[in-house]
């Protein structure tokens, strides 16, 4: 909810295209003390805060989503623009500060002209002036103010230079405007001729306000360098020929090269994936160990009873299942923030746009899909960078098909069952084959959903891939770190409660009806006795009843209710499948020999009704196929629900992927049996 204080003081809204320095300016003026809110009835986010006390200005400042004009090109842009004309809770802004990248005047001034034509009270904040200076150019704020007939201020959001002058302009503008005019609906008055005339006027203004700084003797010949760099819409004027600075030209000659560009792209993305996968592992193990020890302490302190098990296995372990993903999320958003702030993320998206467009996605979908191999949760959160809602939802939809790290313990166990001792190299080949299979599965699925997306994803499709390539620059670490912190906090607030609720639900199903089973304790340690008691309790739980209820479904794929119980338990997290098998087959070995003991139990397990072997080559391969497709992760469902704004997409994911998993498992098991591989 938005507080009353927002309405009782003037509201200043920051408006500008993506990468125009809008959020950096917001952080500067707010002191990074803001809250993130959703527009009512939409998942589009905006941040709002009081102006920092050091500026002595009582006003609220709102950081709106990036837009390139007042004519929306996506559902999210439509929400943001309609809220600009009449916010559903706080009304119209008293003042708009339009951020304009000084190096991109020809593109960014169109939005300013539209805002002025619509009747808004506008101040222009010129950003990226330091980048303009590096290109040997400067801009006259006075001439631009004269041309636009509105105040103009130069601002450096990274150093804070010009912030006081901007605040002074804001204060004077607020005091000079009594009441807020009622803007027109700009979309109704926009015509093609008007748009052409606007661009002609902007070209005239750009030539007038931009001027070249004195050229140094050793200056770099940008005109010659630009001729070597192939760009769409090659600029013609002398000003446009200086649009790219020396560093950007030299780097792009390599990173946008038709061969080396893709090589460096895959190296950078591989480093990103490796960082999420490997660098986070020690931290995840530390978090997991901490919550495990805390759960063990609570269990020993409270005793082996309902309260003790609720606190330890339900609440503490459930909270741990939320926190264990935090290192991956922090590392992901830290790397994405650095890549975006340097300007490379836009290049990477451009490189892979063409192949991804064949399956209904665009270049911005690649990083979330790649991140899905580490964990679907941060991958779904990373899909926020996709502006088109339909493409964002399609990306979110297929991310669970990426073989995340939680599947690794399952794959490791199942592959170990298939290969002979001493044939570890074969296990590596099989694991690689599984990952390749998951990639092709996601591509095929995306292609099919793209053809049926009007039925599955009911969003307006106005897709386009218009992307500015910003100049390369050193990222400001404080801003990247703060944005990473904000993203991690959003994950905890959004996904945490839902994941905890689902974890408690799984605990209830696997614990009740509660009874204290009696087990033979002779020759067993206390830990082994507890493990046997838990196994007996699980065998008589509601989850076991549910497993026996779905026995008719398990029989056609060559499995029984015990595997069904493990699959149900795996909804808490896929890796739980292994520990659940250990419980259901009463494996009591120490952790060091747990896999060997589980494998031994699996090799001797038989189906109770028929006496046939439960785990065979066909059923193990069938289980691998099942885990490739099935959405066995309540955390993913929870995050998908939060990011898509409803239950439609996650329910469709659950139904479609689980159904596909079952059908393909049935075909695999029975097909292999028909071929004699059993």
Residue 243 confidence (pLDDT): 46
The more confident residue out of 155 and 221 is 155
pLDDT tens, residue by residue, 440-456: 888 888 788 777 755 55
Q: What is the mean pLDDT of residues 406-424?
A: 77
Do residues 678 and 672 make contact, with C-beta atoms less than 8 angstroms apart?
yes
Residue 516 confidence (pLDDT): 61
Do residues 314 and 504 make contact, with C-beta atoms less than 8 angstroms apart?
yes
Structure tokens at 400: 């669970």
Q: What is the mean pLDDT of residues 494-516?
A: 72
Structure tokens at 413: 């166990």
Type and span of the H or E element at 430: helix 424-456
DSSP letter string, 551-609:
HHHHGGGT--HHHHHHHHHTTS-TTHHHHHHHHHTT----GGGHHHHHHHHHHH-B-TT
Residue 571 confidence (pLDDT): 78
Residue 89 confidence (pLDDT): 73
Q: What is the mean pLDDT of residues 98-104?
A: 89
Q: What is the mean pLDDT of residues 84-95?
A: 79
Enumerate the β-bridge partners of residue 60. Answer: 11, 50
The more confident residue out of 544 and 101 is 101
Q: 210 — phi, psi (to 5°)?
A: -90, 140
Question: Interior CA angle at 566 toward 562 and 571, to 5°?
Answer: 150
Q: What is the mean pLDDT of residues 78-107?
A: 82
Enumerate the β-bridge partners of residue 79. Answer: none
Residue 151 confidence (pLDDT): 92
Do residues 244 and 471 make contact, with C-beta atoms less than 8 angstroms apart?
yes
Do residues 368 and 384 make contact, with C-beta atoms less than 8 angstroms apart?
no
Type and span of the H or E element at 638: helix 634-644
CA 585 from chain center: how many Å? 38
Residue 217 confidence (pLDDT): 47
Q: What integer best gives the mean pLDDT of the chain?
A: 76
Residues 256, 344: Cα–Cα separation, whole Å: 10
pLDDT tens, residue by residue, 416-446: 888 866 666 677 778 778 878 888 888 888 7
Query: How many CA atoms within 13 Å lie on the side-chain side of 527?
Result: 6
Structure tokens at 202: 């902007």
Nearest of 454, 376, 323, 360 to residue 650 by alpha carbon: 376
Residue 423 confidence (pLDDT): 66
Q: What is the mean pLDDT of residues 515-537?
A: 63
Task: Name the percent of the chain lying above pLDDT 90.
Answer: 9
Residue 177 confidence (pLDDT): 63
The CB-based long-range contact list for 304-311 (8 Å cut-off, 24+ gap) reads 304/530, 304/533, 306/511, 306/514, 309/507, 309/511, 310/507, 310/511
Q: 180 — phi, psi (to 5°)?
A: -110, 125
Choose the CATH number for 5-214 among 3.40.50.300, 3.40.50.720, 1.10.1740.10, 3.40.50.510: 3.40.50.300
Lowest mean pLDDT among 11-15, 228-232, 294-298, 382-386: 228-232
Q: What is the mean pLDDT of residues 273-277?
A: 65
pLDDT tens, residue by residue, 123-150: 999 998 887 887 778 889 889 999 899 9
Residues 223, 565: Cα–Cα separation, whole Å: 68
Type and span of the H or E element at 211: strand 210-212
Q: 123 — phi, psi (to 5°)?
A: -125, 140
pLDDT tens, residue by residue, 604-620: 888 877 778 888 999 99
Lowest mean pLDDT among 81-90, 211-220, 372-381, 393-402: 211-220
Residues 64, 79: Cα–Cα separation, whole Å: 11
Structure tokens at 251: 């780097």
Residue 237 confidence (pLDDT): 43
pLDDT tens, residue by residue, 206-238: 888 888 877 554 444 544 544 444 443 334 443
pTM of the predicted model, to two decimals? 0.59
Residues 106, 656: Cα–Cα separation, whole Å: 46
Residue 610 confidence (pLDDT): 77
Lowest mean pLDDT among 317-321, 393-397, 408-412, 658-662: 317-321
Do residues 626 and 668 make contact, with C-beta atoms less than 8 angstroms apart?
no
CA 360 from chain center: how many Å? 18
Structure tokens at 631: 């959405």
Instruction: Map residue 15 onto helix, strand or coil.
Output: strand
pLDDT(466) > 90: no
Residue 5 confidence (pLDDT): 41
Q: What is the mean pLDDT of residues 53-71?
A: 85
Q: What is the largest CA-CA distance in the chain?
A: 93
Residues 506, 580: Cα–Cα separation, whole Å: 12
Residues 312, 300: Cα–Cα separation, whole Å: 9
Domain ranges, ordered by start, for the chain: 5-214
Structure tokens at 42: 């939409």
Residue 621 confidence (pLDDT): 92
Instruction: Map residue 142 onto helix, strand or coil.
Output: helix
Q: What is the mean pLDDT of residues 157-169?
A: 84
Residue 351 neighbours by CB under 8 Å, 6+ apart: 256, 261, 262, 265, 363
Most confident of 131-135, 162-166, 456-460: 162-166
pLDDT bracket for residue 122 (50, 70, 90): very high
Count CB atoms within 10 A of the CB of residue 25: 25
pLDDT tens, residue by residue, 283-315: 877 887 888 888 888 888 887 778 888 888 778
pLDDT tens, residue by residue, 306-360: 888 888 877 887 777 667 768 877 887 788 778 877 878 777 777 777 777 777 7
In this structure, is the dihedral angle defined by the CA atoms of residues 592, 594, 595 and 596, taken in order, positive or negative? positive
Residues 571, 503: Cα–Cα separation, whole Å: 9
Lowest mean pLDDT among 211-220, 381-390, 403-412, 593-602: 211-220
Structure tokens at 150: 């509105």
Enumerate the β-bridge partners of residue 100. Answer: 126
Q: 361 — phi, psi (to 5°)?
A: -115, 180
Q: 386 — phi, psi (to 5°)?
A: -90, 110
Residue 666 burial class via C-beta count within 10 angstroms: exposed 0-12, middle 13-18, buried 19 and up: middle
DSSP letter string, 277-332:
IIIHHHHHHHHHHHHHHHHHHHHHHH-SSHHHHIIIIIIIHHHHHHHTTHHHHHHH
Helix axes 344-351, 326-342, angle to 10 degrees: 90
Enumerate the β-bridge partners of residue 124. Answer: 98, 152
Lowest mean pLDDT among 41-45, 101-105, 334-338: 41-45
């Amino acid at each position: 909810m938005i507080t009353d204080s927002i309405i009782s003081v003037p509201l200043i809204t920051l408006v500008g295209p993506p990468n125009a320095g809008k959020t950096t300016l917001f952080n500067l003026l707010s002191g990074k003390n803001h809250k993130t809110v959703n527009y009512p009835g939409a998942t589009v986010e905006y941040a709002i805060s009081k102006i920092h006390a050091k500026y002595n200005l009582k006003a609220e400042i709102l950081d709106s989503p990036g837009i390139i004009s007042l004519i929306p090109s996506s559902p999210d842009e439509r929400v943001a623009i309609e809220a600009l004309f009449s916010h559903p809770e706080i009304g119209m802004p008293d003042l708009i500060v339009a951020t304009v990248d000084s190096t991109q005047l020809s593109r960014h001034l169109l939005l300013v002209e539209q805002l002025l034509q619509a009747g808004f009270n506008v101040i222009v904040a010129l950003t990226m002036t330091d980048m303009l200076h590096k290109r040997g150019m400067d801009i006259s704020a006075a001439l631009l103010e004269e041309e636009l007939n509105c105040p103009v201020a130069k601002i450096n959001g990274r150093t804070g230079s010009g912030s006081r002058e901007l605040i002074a302009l804001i204060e004077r503008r607020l005091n000079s405007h009594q009441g807020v005019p009622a803007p027109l609906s700009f979309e109704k008055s926009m015509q093609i001729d008007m748009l052409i005339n606007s661009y002609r006027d902007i070209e005239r203004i750009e030539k007038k306000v931009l001027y070249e700084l004195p050229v140094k003797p050793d200056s770099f010949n940008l005109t010659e360098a630009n001729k070597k760099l192939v760009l769409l819409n090659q600029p013609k004027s002398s000003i446009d020929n200086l649009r790219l600075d020396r560093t950007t030209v030299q780097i792009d000659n390599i990173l946008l090269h038709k061969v080396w560009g893709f090589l460096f792209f895959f190296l950078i993305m591989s480093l990103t994936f490796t960082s999420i996968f490997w660098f986070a592992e020690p931290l995840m193990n530390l978090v997991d160990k901490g919550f495990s020890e805390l759960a063990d302490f609570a269990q020993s302190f409270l005793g082996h009873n309902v309260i003790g098990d609720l606190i330890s296995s339900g609440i503490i372990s459930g909270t741990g299942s939320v926190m264990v993903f935090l290192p991956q999320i922090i590392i992901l958003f830290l790397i994405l923030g650095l890549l975006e702030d340097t300007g490379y993320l836009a290049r990477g998206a451009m490189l892979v746009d063409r192949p991804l467009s064949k399956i209904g996605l665009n270049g911005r979908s690649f990083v979330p899909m790649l991140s899905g191999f580490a964990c679907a949760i941060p991958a779904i959160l990373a899909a926020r960078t996709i502006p088109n809602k339909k493409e964002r939802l399609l990306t979110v939809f297929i991310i669970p098909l990426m073989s995340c790290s939680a599947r690794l313990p399952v794959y490791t166990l199942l592959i170990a069952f298939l290969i002979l001792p001493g044939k570890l190299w074969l296990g590596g080949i099989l694991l690689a084959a599984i990952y390749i299979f998951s990639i092709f599965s996601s591509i095929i699925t995306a292609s099919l959903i793209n053809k049926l997306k009007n039925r599955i994803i009911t969003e307006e499709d106005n897709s386009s891939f218009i992307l500015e390539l910003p100049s390369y620059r050193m990222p400001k670490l404080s801003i990247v770190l703060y944005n990473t912190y904000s993203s991690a906090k959003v994950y905890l607030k959004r996904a945490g409660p839902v994941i905890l609720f689902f974890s408690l639900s799984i605990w209830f199903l696997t614990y009740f009806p509660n009874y204290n089973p009696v087990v033979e304790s002779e020759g067993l340690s206390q830990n082994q006795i507890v493990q046997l008691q838990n196994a007996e309790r699980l065998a008589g739980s509601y989850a076991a009843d549910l497993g026996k209820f779905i026995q008719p479904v398990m029989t056609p794929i060559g499995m029984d209710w015990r595997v069904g119980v493990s699959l149900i338990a795996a909804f808490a997290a896929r890796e739980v499948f292994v520990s659940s098998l250990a419980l259901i087959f009463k494996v009591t070995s120490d952790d060091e020999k747990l896999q060997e003991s589980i494998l031994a139990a699996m090799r001797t397990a038989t189906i109770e009704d028929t006496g046939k072997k439960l785990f065979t080559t066909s059923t193990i391969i069938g289980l691998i196929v099942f885990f490739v497709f099935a959405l066995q992760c309540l955390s993913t469902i929870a995050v998908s629900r939060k990011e898509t704004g409803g239950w439609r997409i996650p329910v469709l994911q659950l139904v479609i992927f689980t159904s596909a998993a079952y059908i393909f498992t049935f075909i695999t098991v029975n097909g292999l049996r028909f071929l004699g591989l059993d």
